[in-house]
Chains A and B, each alone.
Chain A
Amino acid sequence: MQVTQLILNGLMSGTILAVPAIGLTAIFAVLRFTNFALASHMTIGAFAGFLANVWLAWPVVPSLLAAFVVAGLVGVLSDEFILKPFRAAGFITTAIGSIALTIALENCVRLVFGNELRGYDLPIRRDWLVGGLRVSPQQLENLAIAVAAMTLLFLFLFFTRSGRAMRAFADNPMLASIKGINADMVARLVSFVAMGLAGLGGMLIGLDTTIDPLVGFKSILSIFAAAVVGGLGSLPGAVVGALLVGVGEELSLLILSPAYRSAIGFLAILVVLTLRPRGILGARAY
């Protein structure tokens, strides 16, 4: 029973991690660099959702939409004006630039909102006991929202022209350009969707905890681990990786003190990369 509860807890936290992890891996698939600025976009999304939910008294779902849109728009602007010029200098320079960007953006949020912890206007509900297992209704809702967001994303990628253009570009940028796909448009689109997902993920984490300017930074290492384990560049891989990291961190409690939880994500990276250097699902984007 204890193991089942741990797996359940792991799946729930893994699903939440999967949302921003998809964003990280999507940017890698299309733009070919690891965008650590994802962390600050999670924070921006969480605070945009906070403004909508607490100041404007919007319900949760429209607030999540606000988190997605605001973080997505900031993502497009920050990529267009800050990271795009870095890209010519290569992968490492751009990734380092994204770390600088994330610290700058995080401090902008701090300047406006300060350091204190804030909570959404949301009643906290007691867990349900289902067959001896504790299930949090809030986490179930988060799970449903995360699954819905991922489903929408996959539908977008497979059944819309823009989605197919993104996949084509991820698969072979040269060929995609020859076929007339506008590289700049694809970059903007992927930045919007990926950072929007980051914002959504930031608010989902906040719904279950509290938010402060570090909300994204605290999770970025687990998200990075999830994306790498699943196969950096593979969207389903990000989901698989996030679930594995989530469940792995929980199951580790059977033998390790909780103080070593984070080590599991990185142990998973070592094991997976040793056995499968391109991650569990490889680097194919879809």
Chain B
Amino acid sequence: MLLRLLPWLAAAWLMAVGIYGMVTSRHYVHLIGCLSVVQSGTYVLLLAIGFVWHSGPPIFYDHPPGTPAVDPVMQALVLTDVVVGAAVSALLLALALQLHKRRNTLDPQELEPIP
């Protein structure tokens, strides 16, 4: 039972620590890293949903169709998620770089907000 719950707990844990890290972050690059941790939580969650015990990968090249396999739909979703994450991280890091060039700091606390 615990083994079955483990991936769900891991996913929830990853999302929770990721958001905690973002809330308390003092450096934008650290914050973006924490964002990736949150995203890893979604990967684990999706893979756990699609997982089927005692079955192989959903590739029927060398064994007959109908053999038990894990759910390929969820894997496709994870793949999309990975692509999205890469795009967003790249964009965020580019923005952070520019921010550092112009303001000479990356601490969210030091950047004065507009009321």
The answer to whether A and B come from one shared complex is no
> Chain B interface (Cβ within 8 Å of chain A)?
none
> Chain A interface (Cβ within 8 Å of chain B)?
none
